A = this chain, B = another copy of it.
Amino acid sequence: VSGNCYKVRLLLAHLGYDYDRVEVDVVDRRNREQVLGELNPARRIPTLVLDGGRPLAESGAILCYLANGTPWLPTDPFVRAQVLQWMFFEQSSHAPFIGVARYWLTIAPEAPNPDALAAKQARGRGALHAMDRHLEERPFLVGERPTIADLALYAYTHVAAEGGFNLGQYPAVVSWLERVASEPGHVRIAA
């Protein structure tokens, strides 16, 4: 269910890497210390453990590490910074609103506070508007082919309806979602 984990699985599928998967509960977090205590100071998912045992956390950092040297992360320093711009935007201005609204409405065991939900949704609509304006004139977030910025933003955007968002109001986003999902190697969030 986690969009942050899905981003990483999506890139791993595109790159054709094998990996083992350890699932943790996103509601009952009592075993986080046991599972992640030595691997991630923040005890968050996803946490990647490389062959050899080195751990790496934060979906954005994992995507950058895995994509390094592949077409998913351009080498030009400014273009690379533009990719990071969208990935930091996703973590600061997109997932905290769209991902959290989805969590409250679809995953959390208790019903959300209506005012808090409305505030999350208002800011989430702002993030979708920002993406829509940007994508009106571009096929992908940065450049002419998909990058890890597109995978990072795809994860919570494509399930935004589960957070009460009407994606029909963002036609450039809808077209972009279709382009990202039609890339060879794409896998679904439930895969």
- Tallying the copies of this chain within the complex gives 2
Is A114 an interface residue when CB atoms closer than 8 A count as contact? no
Whether A42 and B78, one on each chain, are in contact in the complex, defined by CB atoms closer than 8 angstroms, is: no
Shortest Cβ distance from A131 into chain B, in angstroms?
7
Please tell me if A91 contacts chain B, counting CB pairs below 8 Å: yes
Given the contacts A88-B88, A133-B41, A81 and B93 also touching, CB distance less than 8 Å: no
The distance in angstroms between the C-alpha atoms of A56 and B76, with both chains bound, is 14
A84 contacts B by Cβ under 8 Å: yes
Interchain CB contact (< 8 A) of A61 among B82, B96, B130: B82
User: Chain B nearest CB: distance from A34 CB in Å?
Assistant: 15
Number of contact residues on A: which range applies? 35 or more
- A65-B77, A65-B78, A96-B96 given as contacts; is B89 within 8 A of A57 (CB)? yes
Tell me if A61 and B85 are in contact (CB < 8 A). yes
What's the minimum C-beta distance from A115 to chain B, rounded to whole angstroms? 9
| Nearest-Cβ distance from residue A38 to partner chain B, whole angstroms | 11
- A42 / chain B contacts, CB cutoff of 8 Å: 89, 93, 126-127, 130
Interface residues of A (CB under 8 A from B): 41-44, 50, 54, 56-62, 64-65, 68-69, 77-78, 80-82, 84-85, 87-89, 91-93, 95-96, 116, 126-127, 130-131, 133-134
